[in-house]
Structures are given as C-alpha cells and as structure tokens.
Amino acid sequence: MADTIIEVSQLTKHFKGKTAVHKADFKIAKGEIFGLVGQNGAGKSTLLKMIGGLIYPTSGEIKLFDRAMNNNHPYFERIGLLIENAGLFPYYNAYENLDLISILYGLTNRERHIKRVLQLVGLDASNKTKVRNYSMGMKQRLGIAASLIGSPDILILDEPINGLDPQGISEIRKLILDLNKTGITIIISSHILEELSKVATQYAILHQGEIIENHSREQLLLQCEDRIEIEVEKVSSAVSILEEQLNINHYKVISDRIVYVYNSHIENQHIIKSLVENGVSVHSVTKHKQSLEQYFLARIGSEGGSRD
C-alpha cells in the first residue's frame, strides 16, 4: 500500500495471563475509514488503545507514518481518540470543556479554533448548557470535538454510536463521513457490521483477540452479494458453458471445483441442465443470500473455540 498511514504487525496484549489481542496484523491507507467489528470482549478497545498510545503492547509493533511507535514518538499527537468515555467535565459547558483541552495542548488563538471545531461537529458555541444535561448524542458530538482539538490526521472512535437513537446514529454517521472528507483517516469500531458498512471503506473482523478477516468494502459486499454456488467436477469446462450457453459473465472461480455466479436470474435447474447436457458432472448448485450480520455471525461462529 503506497500511502500506508498505520501498520500493525503481530500486535499482542496480555492482561495477567489473559490474551486480549493476539498477533494482529493490518495496514490502513491514508484517507480510509477502517471499520473494526467484533463482539463484546473481542479486544476492540484494547487494540484501539494500543494504536492510540494509551496502553503498551505486550509484543508486536505499530508503525505510524512509516515510523515505529515508542515512548518518544512525536506522531502520537497526530491521533485524536474517543475511547470508552469521553472524559468530559460534566459541570462545564461545551466551549469550556474544549477550552480546557486546548490549554492542555498549549494552543494559541483558542477561541477561533474551538468555534471552528464546534461548528464542524454541529454544536452551538453559544450554548451554555452544562454537559451533565446533554443528551447522549450531544455528548458524543462533544467527545468527537474534544478528539479533534489537536487537529489530528487520524481519528480513533471506539463504538461512537453506542447508546444513540436512530436519528443520533445517522447524525454521527454523517459527521464521520464529513470528517473523512476533510482528509482525516478514521478508525471506528462497532459490534454491528451492518452499521459499519454504511461508512467504512475497509473492514477487519476481530474475534477472541484475533483478526480473522480483513477486507476492502468491495470484497466484503461481494461476499454477501446474492450468488449461485456451483460445485462441479471440472470448473474450467463449466465456465465456458456458463459463458457461451447461458451468457453469464459475472462469476468468480473459487477453486478447481467451485465457481460463484453473481446477480444471475437464471434458475438453478436451467444451469444444471446446461452443464449436464454439455458433459459436465455437477455436484451441487445452490442459491446463497446472506445479510452482513449473518455473514459476520457465520464467520465468528465458524472460527469456534476459545483460547482460554
């Protein structure tokens, strides 16, 4: 990947004998929205905390902007974090909260910067309401605003839609897409693949601490696209019949016995008949339709077992 911004290799975290993250490997290119999906306890927050520099890995390496991270890594400052809870001061309003963070960052010209960030996340700088009286959605916006104060290149959002109602979810989704358009690379976690699919351009499935899949958006959608799975004796002869006799062009050869046909309205019986009439021995022809959630559950189910 030419413009890799984050590279994680063999990243592992043990907590007192328990493995929370085990040998994670992935790369994230500049400008991506990287979606990390996993069930409760899969290791999402632990992985994101290591990338954000909040906890040390037990082993493995994180490279940011092509440089290995360590204590003195100057690029930590280029990451904005919203992990688990936003650490907001409940008795201050939005502006005051961001002002405190700006002071910690040593920013000059704070007022202009804070107003710009508040506008970016859709909060009103003149609103004097204390954060303790905010709705979940507003708190989440302010949490994202807080993570933007340092003008990061990378934004890490750990389950940013947790606890939000459908309107709140769609607003945060739009905000994530808008921030990404300004050039920020985003890492976002969720336990709902369907939700991630509305924003993410790259996906990793984390299960019991291990990255069990890593897909581009196109690859993921292809996995779940309606398809007919055909198992035959010899795929090469089947493919020429699919093309020449049935005019099927959208297919993928999976192995020397299996081919997937996408977006075809041709009946299974018709496919079987054509193949058999042309001397191809057919083992099975099945229609396959799967939602992203079914796909996710099948993937983590199929990995089975526990390391503990």
Ligand X SMILES: Nc1ncnc2c1ncn2[C@@H]1O[C@H](COP(=O)(O)OP(=O)(O)OP(=O)(O)O)[C@@H](O)[C@H]1O
C-alpha distances in angstroms, 124 versus 18, 118, 138, 166, 198? 44, 7, 10, 22, 27
> Residue 189 Cβ, how far from Mg ion at the closest point, in Å?
7
Residue 42 binds ligand X (CB under 6 A): yes
Residue 40 binds ligand X (CB under 6 A): yes
Q: Listing from the earlier edge strand, what are the strands of the sheet with 185-190?
A: 79-82, 154-157, 185-190, 33-37, 202-207, 210-216
Residue 45 binds Mg ion (CB under 5 A): yes
The residue among 40 and 269 lying less far from ligand X, judged by its C-beta, is 40
Q: Which of 11, 20, 81, 176 binds ligand X (CB under 6 A)?
A: 20
Classify residue 302 by its DSSP letter: H
Q: Which helix (DSSP H) or strand (DSSP E) does residue 61 occupy?
A: strand 59-64
Q: How far apart are CA 45 and CA 273, in angstroms?
A: 52
C-alpha distances in angstroms, 25 versus 39, 76, 137, 214? 19, 20, 33, 9
14 makes contact, choosing from Mg ion, ligand X, none, with CB < 5 to 8 Å by partner type, with none
Q: How far apart are CA 144 and CA 157, in angstroms?
A: 8
126 makes contact, choosing from ligand X, Mg ion, none, with CB < 5 to 8 Å by partner type, with none
> Residue 227 Cβ, how far from ligand X at the closest point, in Å?
31
Q: How far does the chain reach from its first CA to its final CA, in angstroms?
A: 35
The residue among 50 and 146 lying less far from ligand X, judged by its C-beta, is 50
Q: Which of 183, 219, 176 is nearest to 198 (CA)?
A: 176
Residue 191 binds ligand X (CB under 6 A): yes
20 makes contact, choosing from Mg ion, ligand X, none, with CB < 5 to 8 Å by partner type, with ligand X
43 to 82: interface string for ligand X, x by CB under 6 A: xxxx------------------------------------
Which amino acid would we find at residue 308?
A: D
Residues recorded for the chain: 308
The residue among 16 and 181 lying less far from ligand X, judged by its C-beta, is 16
> Residue 37 Cβ, how far from Mg ion at the closest point, in Å?
12
Q: How far apart are CA 94 and CA 127, in angstroms?
A: 8
Residue 15 binds ligand X (CB under 6 A): yes
Residue 38 binds ligand X (CB under 6 A): yes
> Residue 27 Cβ, how far from ligand X at the closest point, in Å?
21
The residue among 21 and 261 lying less far from ligand X, judged by its C-beta, is 21
The residue among 38 and 52 lying less far from ligand X, judged by its C-beta, is 38
Binding site for ligand X (CB under 6 A): 15, 18, 20, 38, 40-46, 191
